[in-house]
Structure 1
Amino acid sequence: MKISGSTALVTGANRGFGRHLAAELLARGATVYAGARNPDTVDLPGVTPVRLDITDPASVAAAAAELAGGVNLLINNAGIDTRTDLLDGDLDLVRLELETHYIGTLSTVRAFAPVIAGNGGGTILNVLSVLSWVNFPMHASYGAAKSAEWAMTNALRLQLAERGVRVAGLHVGYLDTDMAADITGPKSDPAAVARLTVDGIEADAYEIVADDVSRRVQAGFPGGVAALYPQLP
């Protein structure tokens, strides 16, 4: 799709990767609505803040009604990582991650897909993760929720294609944002990944693989469990 002249909603756009996505879209000539639970925290000049809590159905419905006249690009970026252990962690936190990444994203798609279709078609991008493909105990609940979101992305891609709505997924490892502030390993520049992501949207890519770690994991699929988890006995 053509980014210049488009109208986009980016969820979780008040900070981190979402803010970089909003800035990149603005730079390419899009009208950008920045979704945030507290719109007062949106500080990017040129965007229009929108109150949006993706885990609150009433908030999602209100945002969809407010923006029904123009949106043709939805980027589902809002997310959390509680670092909850699957064996002995708080199940309420596991539910919260599923409510955010899976149910919340699905609720937003259900609300905005008719808007996008009614505006002549467009694109929905779900910001996934390399952890939707491979998972480790430190991010177990996050990875499980992202895996569910990836499966949902694939299903919606098929269902919405006939309505003129393209559904894409972004896979990326650690980004140099607040969410990964305590991670000591390699991190990608979120501004550079935002540019690559918007390039992928403009090229109508269904799957955007944004960094080397994601490409390595994707390439390891044919080798099965042994290739993806070589540490197993």
Structure 2
Amino acid sequence: MTWIGAIYEFGSLFSYRIPDFSSQYALSSPLPGPSTIKLALVATAIETKDVIYGEKVFGTIKNAKIKLLPPKRIALSNVLVKRLKAKKERKEKGFESTFGIRGYVHFAEPLKIYIETAIESGKIGEEIENLLRRIRRLGTSDSVVYCESVKKEIPPANAIEAVEALKKAEKNVLVIPVKDLNPDPAIKFEHINIYSKSKQPKAKVFVSKFYTIPILDQKQGKNWIVYEIGPRRN
């Protein structure tokens, strides 16, 4: 197994809606989930070459481990936004105006992402490194990123990994639900391929996991909060 680390700088504020939250009250996760990172690699592969290459990359990284080294300070703010959505009546065309809450995140410094691949060396490993360099957004269109560097590197002990279950209640820890790709062999590339013309049977493409982020301190106001991230306390 080989770990590859990549450093990303976000261009502006960004938003990752917490899974299962209403689009009208879309609070944001402070960090991208494992599925967001993996699908960003697949999307980059398709944009770089073609759908066949995207399928190849999907098979390589579907079950890969993901770890994050977050910035030391993360700011979140919730703002009132005006939204346009399709009218409820199917026969009516156009949109109707509504309002909602959307959470936005700002990092004080770059985010470091680590991905473990089963490739020790060779062409595939180099391809994953090149794709990590080419990523220009992580998830939503407002999550524009620039890759500063990529290299083979083992994650530090304080890197964060999504877990399937919370073993015990921890103090001074922020728990955030996220999604990862279902490791079930029945889940194929066609289940996530938006370019596919064939209709796939319903399947559980994603599984729920959690980030547990150690918090040293926090300051907050009416619609904002700033977290100071630190090493996990024993």
TM-score (norm 2): 0.25
Larger radius of gyration: 2
Answer 1 or 2: which has greater helix percent: 1
TM-score (norm 1): 0.25
